[in-house]
Amino acid sequence: MIRRRRGGRPGRRGSRRVKAAPYLFVAPFVLVFAAFSAYPIFFALQLSFTNWHGAGALEVIGFANYRFLLTSPDFWQSMATSGALWLLVVPAQILLALTIAVALRKARFRGLFSAALIAPFVTPLVAMAQVWIILFDQDFGAVNHGLTSLGLPAVGWLTTSAWAKVTVALLVLWRTTGYAVILLMAGLSTIPSDVYEAARIDGAGAWQQFWSITVPLVTRTLSFVVVIGTLTVFQLFAEPYVVTGGGPFNGTRTAGLYLYKHITNSDLGLGAANSMLLVLMVLALSLASIRLLRSREDS
């Protein structure tokens, strides 16, 4: 209630309290965001133009860190590895997640299936990576044992660069596809059932309904899943670090592992420049993917 003076006009003290209330409510978030998000970003940007090893004054060197990275074969190799993993993970994840989400849309015990799907996402990663090493061992792994029992040759899942990428990609798919399914199931739940009923009355089959109704109406959720998948792949660290150590022959040294190299060498200025380039490339790839999906929605 606004206080009023004897003359009938509201008091200034009461009106000030009312105006200050919204700012007081958002102040905790603003302070936390400024301390733990905005300041580190701006400091990293400043650091990327310096030669700093964690102690002493910042030595400003301009764009030298960026020139070094953009002409470094190791940097581009790490980006190419992350790009290859993106091609192995994200399209397959979209296809699998959308198929499973559509299949479970009207299934019984959806809660049970949802819990089973999200379980890999919350499983401790290092423990699961150790299990992956045992499963894909060339000599004693269960996967090669199954292949040889079918008369197929054993595969060097962890000893060849190409198959090591596939092994890491399979681990990422196993961990993250369930989370994508949950997101897409939420997106599918917003589609009115009347739309499908009208399509069936007009003679549309299951495939026509999927391609003409489901995909366009769930495009925004698909865009979000693509962005999350892109961020996940280009930030990969624990999976290749534990499973392959970045090998063999740097075949699974991702952008995240290459960035970690600068940190272990205390070359923080170069690491900050690397992180900034990584942010720009991930942003460009995410925008291109969203643009491609939105073109399907508009058509």
Query: What is the chain's pLDDT, residue by residue, as a tens digit (299 residues)?
Result: 445 555 555 555 554 555 778 888 888 999 998 888 889 889 999 999 999 888 888 889 999 999 999 999 999 999 999 999 999 999 999 999 999 998 888 777 777 888 888 888 888 888 899 999 999 998 889 999 999 999 999 999 999 999 999 999 999 999 999 999 999 998 888 888 888 888 888 888 888 888 888 888 898 899 889 889 998 999 899 899 999 989 888 899 999 999 998 888 888 999 999 999 998 988 888 888 778 777 655 65
**Residue 55 burial (CB count, 10 A):** 7
This prediction has a pTM of: 0.84
**Residue 199: predicted pLDDT:** 85
- Long-range contacts formed by 255-263: CB under 8 A, 24+ apart: 255/78, 255/79, 255/81, 255/82, 256/82, 257/78, 258/74, 258/75, 258/78
**Residue 157 burial (CB count, 10 A):** 23
CB 176 within 8 A of CB 128: no
**Residue 1: predicted pLDDT:** 45
CA 48/CA 45 separation, integer angstroms: 5
